[in-house]
């Protein structure tokens, strides 16, 4: 059984360029972008990351960032996020129908 790895597109978190391989992306970030400003290097796996807290949370679960390490890039550019269309949930308003039972008590006042 052959296990075929589907090429994931690695997207540069600084300039949004896509790369087929993680090594290519890594090289690109290191050569094109500025360490400290645009990215920080993970002390654990030497991978450029924008935010080590986020990186650690997904790649090094349980580990903590060594003290004194710059945890995130200084310049964080806004990458156009795919506009997530918020599905407007049609609220099924379960209107509770209060049936007010009116007790119509008729008092017949007998006037003597």
Looking at residues 77 to 106 of the shown chain, list those that interact with Zn ion (rule: CB under 5 A).
Answer: none
Count the residues of the shown chain that bind Zn ion, applying the rule CB under 5 A. Answer: 9
**Site for Zn ion contains 52 (CB under 5 A):** no
The minimum distance between CB 42 and Zn ion, in angstroms, equals: 3
3-state secondary structure 6-75: CCCCEECCCCCCEECCHHHHHHHHHHHCCECCCEEECCCCCCEECEHHHHHHHHCCCCCCCCCCCCECCC
Least distance from C-beta 55 to Zn ion, angstroms? 5
In angstroms, what is the minimal distance from the CB of 24 to Zn ion? 11
Asked whether the beta carbons of 21 and 42 are under 8 A apart, the reply is no
**What is the C-alpha to C-alpha distance for residues 1 and 104, in angstroms, rounded to an integer?**
81
45 lies in the binding site for Zn ion (CB under 5 A): yes
- Interface of this chain with Zn ion, residues 11 to 30, rule: CB under 5 A: 12, 14-15, 17
Chain contacts with Zn ion (rule: CB under 5 A) = 12, 14-15, 17, 42, 44-45, 47, 59
């Amino acid at each position: 059984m052959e296990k075929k790895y589907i090429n994931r597109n690695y997207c540069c978190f600084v300039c949004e360029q896509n790369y087929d391989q993680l090594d290519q992306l890594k090289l690109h970030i290191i050569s094109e972008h500025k360490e400290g400003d645009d990215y920080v290097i993970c002390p654990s796996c030497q991978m450029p990351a924008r935010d080590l807290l986020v990186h650690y949370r997904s790649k090094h679960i349980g580990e903590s960032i060594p003290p004194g390490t710059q945890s995130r890039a200084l310049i964080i550019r806004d990458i156009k996020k795919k506009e997530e269309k918020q599905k407007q949930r049609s609220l099924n308003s379960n209107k509770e129908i209060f049936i007010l039972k009116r007790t119509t008590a008729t008092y017949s006042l007998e006037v003597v």
